[in-house]
Chain A
């Protein structure tokens, strides 16, 4: 038995993004902006221009991911000699010096999560654009996971902040933030925006249109 599921769109309803109040869809009028009567947020049936916005942000993040990983994130000056560390060289240093937990945290948060997040978003975008009907529930869960986990990438930025503030021991040692720190922060912020601008309901819309 296969029944078409009753969605808000099929019944001509929209649900408010912010307070989830269910309303009769406003007439399709390009110039009019309809607002939710309960909370005042602007109503859209789907997030506006979801696919192109997400693509743009994903591309920007992918480009910034390169300098974020190749340029130094910290520059340590100790007794006159200075040493630059990239994110990866920091991970390798921790692995060799035996603190593998820290190496794992930094590797997962700074290298694995941003890349996995970008790959996931590209996969979701492509799957919507080729009108895939495979495993919509799993794809939706994947989206929810992506949205939740991204914030933890910020940890390296905070480590740099703390090091920079703490290690100012005059002539003995100083730590300065390298150029990669800015690029890296940009990657994290942009991927968070990218995840937010993707609308998972697009995955399900295809299912109904194909049915």
Chain B
């Protein structure tokens, strides 16, 4: 896809406008951002401790995150460990009479596949396994070199774009709600025992959400800039 890029000279406009580079230092540099929801140009200091909201439509434009890279990296590592635990043990066991039936996330997907519901199996696999795994390994790939080598990994900008587009499709928290509903639904006909995996799943959801909320895309894009 890179090869079809045209050769228009595209000039960055983020330091234009009123931000005069020769102005006294206390004015600081200004960032100008177009609101993604209403296109209004918003101006705020480049170095800021605040959350900036679009003046016209209220979209969040910038959120300050202290130690963003360190925290996201730590939480992503934790999430990856929890993800492995969550997928190695059964999350629910059902006891009825002499039968004990256990299920892992993967056995659920395999069962859908066996019933010829390929599309459904694919949807569950993508939203609960593939996307979260891509998100976690992708973040690790981007953040670790920034932290320890102080330079971006090769093609890190590509990976970050992939993560941004994949994130809405990761639905582990919805799956967790599904587990709760299934618990109640089956509670009447059998004894349901949540497994280790159910608990690690709960923690995983919070850790993952925490890792993502600590990301500062503006700072990351600045460091992943492929022009460097």
Check if B51 is an interface residue, CB within 8 A of chain A: no
Choose from A151, A164, A182, A189 the contact partner of B108 (Cβ within 8 Å): A164
Q: Which residues of B are found within 8 Å of A101, using beta-carbon distances?
A: 184
Which of B1-9, B72-80, B138-146, B207-215 has 4 or more CB atoms under 8 Å from chain A?
B1-9
Q: Which residues of A are found within 8 Å of B164, using beta-carbon distances?
A: 18
Q: Which residues of B are found within 8 Å of A204, using beta-carbon distances?
A: 38-40, 56-57
- Which among B127, B158, B185 has the highest number of chain A CB atoms within 10 Å? B185
Check if B84 is an interface residue, CB within 8 A of chain A: no
Q: Which residues of A are found within 8 Å of B182, using beta-carbon distances?
A: 158-159, 162-163, 166
Which of B20-28, B63-71, B170-178 has 4 or more CB atoms under 8 Å from chain A?
B170-178
With A38-B157, A137-B58 as known contacts, state yes or no: A32 contacts B6, CB within 8 Å.
yes
Check if B117 is an interface residue, CB within 8 A of chain A: yes
Interface size range on B against A: 35 or more
Contact assessment for A97 and B188 in the assembled complex, using a CB-CB cutoff below 8 Å? yes
Shortest distance from the beta carbon of B102 to any chain A beta carbon, whole Å: 8
Check if A172 is an interface residue, CB within 8 A of chain B: yes
Separation of A164 and B33 alpha carbons in the complex (Å) = 49
Q: Which residues of A are found within 8 Å of B185, using beta-carbon distances?
A: 94, 102, 159, 163
Contact assessment for A152 and B119 in the assembled complex, using a CB-CB cutoff below 8 Å? no
Shortest distance from the beta carbon of A174 to any chain B beta carbon, whole Å: 10
Check if B47 is an interface residue, CB within 8 A of chain A: no
Check if A161 is an interface residue, CB within 8 A of chain B: yes
Q: Which residues of B are found within 8 Å of A144, using beta-carbon distances?
A: 37, 59
Separation of A168 and B174 alpha carbons in the complex (Å) = 24
Check if B224 is an interface residue, CB within 8 A of chain A: yes
Which residue from chain B places its CB closest to the CB of A5 in the assembled complex?
A: B40
Contact assessment for B123 and A152 in the assembled complex, using a CB-CB cutoff below 8 Å? no
Q: Which residues of A contact B (CB under 8 A)?
A: 5-9, 11, 13, 15, 17-24, 26-27, 29, 32-41, 43, 94, 97, 99, 101-102, 105-106, 109, 136-137, 140-141, 143-144, 151-152, 154-170, 172-173, 176-177, 181-182, 185-186, 189, 192, 196, 200-201, 203-205
User: Beyond A166-B182, A192-B168: 16 further Cβ-contacts under 8 Å?
Assistant: A7-B41, A20-B36, A23-B12, A43-B10, A102-B184, A109-B177, A136-B57, A140-B57, A157-B123, A161-B109, A163-B182, A165-B103, A166-B103, A169-B99, A172-B97, A177-B115
